[in-house]
Amino acid sequence: MVKKYTFAEYQKESRKTAVYPKVGQPIVYPVLGLVGEAGEVAEKVKKVFRDHNGKIDAEQKELIEKELGDVLWYLAQISFELGSSLENVAKANIKKLRSRLSRDKIHGNGDNR
C-alpha cells in the first residue's frame, strides 16, 4: 500500500533527494528542471494524440502521472528554495482562484485580474 502524504510530508521527504549542482542561485536548477519536466508532460500528451487517437489508456495515464510526479518534485524544491511550502503555495492559489471566480474573472489574461 502506498503511503498518503500531505504537502508538508511530501516536501520534507522529497527534500531528502534534492541533490543538484550549484548553478547560480539555488533556485536556478529546480526551475530549469520544472520547465523540462513540464515539457515531458506535454510530450506524453502529444503522443496520446499522435499514437493513440487521443485516448488515454491505463499505460498512458501511468506515464503521464510519472512525469507529473517529477513536476511536483521540482515544485517542492522551488518552494523550499523560496523559504515557502507547497501547502502555502496551494492555499494562495486557491485563494486567488476563488477571488477570480467570485469576481467573474476566471477567463481572461493577466496575473492580477
Q: What is the pLDDT of residues 51-64, one digit of tens each?
A: 999 999 999 999 99
pLDDT of residue 93: 95
Confidence of residue 97 (pLDDT cuts 50, 70, 90): very high
Task: Give tens-digit pLDDT for 15-32.
Answer: 999 999 988 899 999 999
CB 73 within 8 A of CB 14: yes
Distances (CA, A) of 79 to 23, 88, 89: 17, 9, 8
Q: What is the mean pLDDT of residues 75-100?
A: 96
Domain ranges of the chain: 7-84
Residue 7 has pLDDT above 90, yes or no: yes
Domain 7-84 -> CATH class? mainly alpha
Q: What is the pLDDT of residue 22?
A: 83
More confident of the two residues 37 and 1: 37
Q: Give the C-alpha separation, 9 to 83, whole Å.
A: 16
pTM of the model: 0.91
